[in-house]
Amino acid sequence: MGDSTCEKEITDSTSLEKRDVSGGLEEYPFQLLSSVYDPVEHKIRDISTVAGHKIVTFASLLKHRMIPFSEIVDTLLSLGKVKLGCPVEIEFAVDFGTDANSKALFPVLQIRPMSAREEMLEVEITEYDFAQAFCVSENGLGNTVNSELTDIIYVKPESFEPAKNKQIALEISKINSALLQEGRKYILFGPGRWGSADHWLGIPVNWEDISRG
């Protein structure tokens, strides 16, 4: 079990540097996330300052409660299940800052419904199905059946302009509010990354803007 490697972003350029684990042990917070494998006693010690093979275990985060990591994840999963009405999966990051006095941050990158069990089924699409389909795609994220959708909202590709993404988000929000009052659910199509903070990369909607989607 030799030293593994990690990648570190260079602050003055966009390149990446490949480094040995042992080369980053003096840096915060990397030193707190590393452990040592002792080949003599066949043990992993959750401290990076003793002799042995350096490995990354995230022990301070997962075992020694450097932050209430498990509680945060559990709260997010529980809250997501309540708000979305089904089990969810999340993507997140943890930012410890540059020194021990920095306050740790837990940005939530994405939260979405857990894939439906229908995706495990084998589906045979007949010529009749193709003829009756509203739209067809050879790329998909899985199979599911939903009989509650009543409307389709889509951003017209022929008139789409990234400079108007903020205006598009407002229009979608108004449509969402109207459908919310009527108790109708819809499926939403559009370019870019939905919910992007940078409106040049996607349509900057918030959850309340698309809550019926």
**Could you state, in order of their start, the residue ranges of all structural domains in the chain?**
5-62, 69-113, 145-209
Say which amino acid occupies 186. Answer: Y
pLDDT of residue 15: 55
- What does the block give as tokens for 213? 């989607």
Q: How far, in Å, are 33, 42, 51, 54, 94 from residue 47 at the CA level?
A: 9, 15, 10, 9, 20
At 120-175, the pLDDT tens digits run: 567 788 899 889 888 887 777 666 677 888 999 999 888 889 999 999 999 999 99
- In this structure, the chain runs to a length of 213
Mention every residue, 6+ apart, whose C-beta is less than 8 A from residue 198.
204
CB-based contacts of 171: which residues, under 8 Å, 6+ apart? none
Q: Across residues 52-72, what is the average pLDDT?
A: 85
Question: Which pLDDT band, with edges at 50, 70 and 90, does 28 fall under?
Answer: confident
pLDDT greater than 70 at residue 118: no
Average pLDDT, the chain: 80
According to the model, what pLDDT value does residue 6 have? Answer: 36
**pLDDT over 70 (residue 119):** no
Half-sphere exposure of residue 210, counting CA atoms within 13 Å on the CB side?
18
Main-chain dihedrals φ then ψ at residue 15, nearest 5 degrees: -80, 165
- At 43 the pLDDT is 86
With a CB cutoff of 8 Å and minimum separation 6, the contacts of 47 are 35, 36
Beta carbons within 10 angstroms of residue 9's beta carbon? 9
CA 199/CA 1 separation, integer angstroms? 46
Q: What is the tens place of the pLDDT at every residue in 65-104?
A: 888 988 999 999 999 988 888 888 899 988 888 777 888 8
pTM higher than 0.75 = no
pLDDT at 34: 81
Phi then psi for 51, rounded to 5 degrees?
-75, 145
